[in-house]
Structures are given as structure tokens and as C-alpha cells.
Structure 1
Amino acid sequence: MTIDENHTFIAIDGGGTSCRIALEAQGKRHEVTLSAANVMTDFYGTVRTIITGLDLLASRLSARIEDVYNVPAFIGLAGAIDSDIQTRVRQALPLTCAVIEDDRRTAVRGALGAEDGAFAGLGTGSFFALQQSGAIRLAGGWGARMGDEASGFWIGRAALKAALDVEDGLHPESPLTRDLRASIGSPGKIVELARVASPGDLARIAPQVIEALNAGDPAAVRIFASGSEYILTTLRALGWTPSIPLVLNGGVAHAYIPYMERATGICPQPPKGTPLDGALDLAHEIKCRISA
């Protein structure tokens, strides 16, 4: 395939669990999904992942990789939180026409489109946003060491802490903490797991916690009550009220919806699209700016 740079776009959504890359050419969208892409925790691994994904797409389309590198690209990456990191990524990639940001605006654009609303991104990490009249206010997204409250990572870490709380006699044993203590082992092993595990590794505990929540496990209920309180406090600080549409999205978002409904009296709306959809929309805008 011959790449027409005027009608071809690249979108990249890199997160703590996976990296999705889309190339839209001749009106058709082609995608690949690879491993995690967080430039804060693994800069060079993220760069390799992106280049590998672009190579795969070029091969799939029988296109010259040099032509793919010249396509306008919008890249939203976990960990690309400031201009210094974004510049490093831009310099490390062979793309010649790329806008690089963190992964928050792509998620908001995908979920809300251009409409007003509030957004809670609750995947491996977390962040919160309020979009009004095209302007976006953001909170969170600072990574596992400095935040990510209510996220999959945070849920996994909180579950390990709940197991240690049982050891300290702060709470009685529950089925969740009993299972964690049996599968991981001594308190020292729990602490070691929390120390060495990546955010994605800890996020893999979240489905077990959600299953326990659905069964009424007291430890899981405490975890999600705390996470829900944080979500509401942060959204309200951004200026959200129940009259403003609210979207929760991400791998653990569904577990919070009943809490949001009880606390606010409203049902969160489903997202209009994915972060990759948002990145592709923004890639189209790059081309518009270039053509002007």
C-alpha cells in the first residue's frame, strides 16, 4: 500500500497495562495491541513497543516504514506528564509529525467527545477531569508513587494492606484477606510483593477484590467505599455537580458505579468511545493544523 500522508493518521494509546496503536488509511482503521507503555516506569521499553507496533502495521499494510513514520500521529502515553518527558519521547521516536501528551486528554476526548461532562479514568492508574466549553481541568494521573487513588493498582495495594491489618488485629479476617494470606504467605512476603510488584502486577489483584466485593466481603467493601469517597471528593473539587454528565471508564470502573448511584442519585453514562478513538480524533486535528 502507498501511504497518502494527507489522508492517513496514527493514534497511540499507551497505558500501564497495554499499548494500542491505530493507523487509519484510505478510510480503514488497522490496529495492534502490545504490552504496557508507561514512559515513567520504562522509557526505553515504551519506545521499543511503539516502534514495534508501527513496524507491525507497516508490514500488515505492505507499506514502507519510512512513509509510516511521516504520518501525523497523536500519542497519549502514561507517564508523559510534562514537556521534558514529552520532548525526550519525541526525540527517541522516528516519527516526524507527532504530538505527544500524557494519556489523559485522549481518554477524555474518547469518552466525552466535544461535549461537556466529567470523567473518571479508573484503570491501572487513575485520573479525573471536567470538560466545559472545550476546556479541560485535570486532577490526578501522577502515577503509583504519588497517587492513582481508586485505581486497579490502588485496589490491589489496599487489599494487601487489608491482609496486613488482619495481622495487626485492626480488622477481623475476611474471605478476601484469608485467601490473600494463604496464597502469598507471611507478612514479610506480602510486604516484599508490594515493594517489587509493578503497578500492573498489583492491578491484577483487583478482579479478585471485585469478586469479593460482589460477595459482600467486609474488607472489599471498605476498600471500595474509600475509593468511591475519593472519586466524589476529587470530582466535586473540579466543579462537578450531579447536573453535569459523568462518565466512569477503565478496567475497574464498573465496580464503582453502584456507589456513585447511591451517593449522587444519578447513573454514570457509558463512554462514547475509547482513548484510542480520542487519540485518532486528535490526530485528525494535527493534520488540519498542518494543512492550514
Structure 2
Amino acid sequence: MSDFFISLFPDFRESPEVPPGEQVKLRVNWSAQADDINWTSAVVVYNAFDPQFEILDEQTERHIATSDSGQVILNLFSMPTYPVTLAVVLWGHRDYLLGSFPAGSSDWIQLAYKTITVIPHVTVYEGSIETKQMEVFPPGFGSEMYDIPVSGAVASGSDGKIHVWVRNTGNIEFHPCITWKVSSPSSLIKDYRECKALDLDPNDTHHFWEAFETFNLDEGGQWTIEIELILEETGEILDRWSGNLCQIEAQADDGVIEFMELEIKDTSAKESIPVDVEIPKKQNRNIRLSDMCNCPKGQ
């Protein structure tokens, strides 16, 4: 008979979680009743998924009492990114002078057996885009902050600057990065990325903004923006927002040239420019007409 259990540092869990890359250790506690006074025990950990039952680690002890117990600590492997199932076996042998397991393995008796699955611990980061604003610099002096999307039209020719506040909504600090892409009705205007130098603690916020540059809001129509909060450690997107940025008023033309005419001196003729008729030499001796009319060569 045996009373046999195992636990994983630092505490006992049937399905322990270990961060990938950390060393997996097992603390095995056992007790057993042997038929003979002098006997040898072996605690052996196998890779249960290996067809040959690869031995990951083992320890043997010699005993001089029929009832005995013990504890061994086994250093097994570096935790991968997938679950690992282990088979832990307590073996007993009547030969007190026997060396390490598995020498003479056919004479070993299985006293206890247990499996345990070690699960990779996945750290969950959480964050959100809290506030989005655009600082508008109209022609002239001063600026004003508007929530995104901006309600009401923005004057053409203004300059803009994006401000974004993000929050760590989880329980683990992380390095946040922000990206935003500002587009006019016809093209991409701004592609910006910035990362916070230090960790963002749980429930803290951070303000991202491009300190020294603005972009010109000179094209009439609907402008849009895409914002992403990114975890610098892994590149994971924690939050994303896209939509309308603002409506830019179309700039009215100050004036246009509707038509042009050439009035020929000493006549009542008026011809639209460019002129397709031949003009006599005496009427054009004081002006250059090469770009405005079909004049005889040399005139």
C-alpha cells in the first residue's frame, strides 16, 4: 500500500500553470509499505506523451524500514508554450544495494502512479482607448480642443493635432504603444506611432500626442482616423477605434477668369484669346502677339 501525492512549486495544484521559459520543478512526497526491511525506492518522472516514456528525471533512495516516506525535488525541463503531461511513478525494489533506476528494471515493483498536466501560463494584458481629441489651430492665433469625431465643420486651412488617452484596465503593468492614421478624402495624411518609455501600471492612464508637429486640414470633405493601442512586448492590439475625424469646409474660390478678349485698335473687332484670325501688321506693331494669335511669320 502507498500514500502518494505530488505538488508543484510554489503551491499545490492539480493542473499547475507555469510561464513559458521557466524551469519546471516537482516536489514529490510519498510514503510506502514494503515487504522486506531493506529495500530501495525510485521516484521517476516520465514524459507521458513520449512513445518510449522518456525519463525526465529520477531519484533513488535506500531504506532500512518496511514503512517509510520521503520527499524529492526534481528539476525537469524548461516550460514550452504547450501543455505537458507527466507520469510520476514510485518504484520499489527488494535489493537494498541496488544502484540507480532502471538497472534490473524487471525486478522493480510499481508502488504508486500519478499523472499531472503542466499548463503554460498565458499572461492576459488589458487596455483601452479612453479619450480621443483633436486640437485645431485655425488660421491666425490660438487653438481649441474637440472630441473625436468633431461635431460641426472645421475651417479649411486650419492645422490639426491628435491627442489620445489610454488606460491599463488589467492587473499587470505593460508598455503601451499607440498608432493613428489620419486620412483626407483623397489620401493618407498622417501615420504616427509612439511607445511609452516606462510601464503603465494597472488603472493608470497615459496621454499620447505629437508634441512638435501638426497636419494641415486643407482639403474639403470628410476626414477619417484609425487608432490602435498596442502591447509593445508582443505586438498584440489591445484596443482599436476607427471612424470620422471631422468635416472640412470646402474653400471658396476668390475669383476666376471667365474669358479673355483681344480688341484690335482702329477697328471694332474683338476676338477671344487665343485669336485664330490673321491680324494686319499695322495693327500689331506695338504689342507681342505670338502667344495670343495666329500672326504672319516675322511680324
Q: What's the TM-score bracket when you normalise by the shorter of the two chains?
A: under 0.3
Q: Which protein is richer in strand relative to its size? A: 2
TM-score normalised to structure 2 length = 0.20
Q: Which has the higher contact order (CA 8 A, sep 6+)?
A: 1
Larger Rg: 2
TM-score normalised to structure 1 length = 0.21
